[in-house]
A and B are shown apart, each in its own frame.
Chain A
Amino acid sequence: AQSVAQPEDQVNVAEGNPLTVKCTYSVSGNPYLFWYVQYPNRGLQFLLKYITGDNLVKGSYGFEAEFNKSQTSFHLKKPSALVSDSALYFCAVRDGYSSASKIIFGSGTRLSIRP
């Protein structure tokens, strides 16, 4: 069975500092991994995905994520946080052999950037 875990409910970072939002996963085959962001009173927006290839994936708004197969992790990172990055971040995963309807989302991590 597929699963995804976001171990932190909330991450607090000062503006200008690097940030990391953690995600670990479990799938039976090759993982397809995603990050989505939800701003207040909005739906989720796609940030980036890993399907195959380079383990470091770059996405929207200066975010990147590193796929680590041995640790089954896909942590979201940004070198320098902005106050406008404050939002709810969701990690998602699916088995590469299943359809898009089998995407599993985590419970979300609230990122708070203080000025």
Chain B
Amino acid sequence: ETGVTQTPRHLVMGMTNKKSLKCEQHLGHNAMYWYKQSAKKPLELMFVYSLEERVENNSVPSRFSPECPNSSHLFLHLHTLQPEDSALYLCASSQDVRIATNEKLFFGSGTQLSVL
């Protein structure tokens, strides 16, 4: 196990639903990330939090809303999604996003999201 736990593993939702993805890390890291993985496309960085402060927001649509209540937990709130949002959503953590050479990322197993 990597020390990063994501729930649920699978999620099916309609376009009008509201749901949340949860991520928890037990590594004592200060930085947490949300990535989107679609088949045959580069891994897409969505959000980065450092010490509960959002430091990166890569032009992600507002139907995705992140929340980081503390350095161990990260949520991704979803509402009025589109079918093209179907993908594997990966959470990751690292010791500190600011340390230049310490960029080893620890990933969770992901949530496979299907939007109908």
A44 near B90 with CB under 8 A, answer: yes
> Across the interface, which residues of A come within 8 angstroms of B109, CB to CB?
41-43
In the complex, whether A71 has a CB less than 8 A from a CB of chain B is no
What is the total number of residues of chain B having a CB less than 8 Å from a CB of chain A? 34
> Across the interface, which residues of A come within 8 angstroms of B59, CB to CB?
none
In the complex, whether A74 has a CB less than 8 A from a CB of chain B is no
Closest beta carbon of chain B to A67's beta carbon, Å: 15
Which single residue of chain A is at the shortest CB-CB distance from B99? A100
Closest beta carbon of chain B to A36's beta carbon, Å: 8
B108 near A100 with CB under 8 A, answer: no
In the complex, whether A108 has a CB less than 8 A from a CB of chain B is yes
Closest beta carbon of chain B to A47's beta carbon, Å: 10
Closest beta carbon of chain A to B34's beta carbon, Å: 11
B45 near A101 with CB under 8 A, answer: yes
Which single residue of chain A is at the shortest CB-CB distance from B94? A100
A99 near B98 with CB under 8 A, answer: yes
A101 near B55 with CB under 8 A, answer: yes
> Are A101 and B92 CB-contacts (below 8 A) given A106-B42, A107-B42?
no
User: Complex: how many Å from CA A44 to CA B45?
Assistant: 14
B40 near A96 with CB under 8 A, answer: no
Residues 98-116 (chain B) with a chain A CB within 8 angstroms: 98-110
> Are A103 and B105 CB-contacts (below 8 A) given A43-B92, A90-B43, A108-B40?
yes
> Across the interface, which residues of B come within 8 angstroms of A42, CB to CB?
109
A43 near B107 with CB under 8 A, answer: yes
Residues of B that sit less than 8 Å from A by CB: 2, 4, 6, 31, 33, 35, 40-43, 45, 48, 50, 55-56, 90-92, 94, 96-110
Residues of A that sit less than 8 Å from B by CB: 4, 9, 32, 34, 36, 41-46, 49, 51, 90, 92, 94, 96-97, 99-101, 103-108
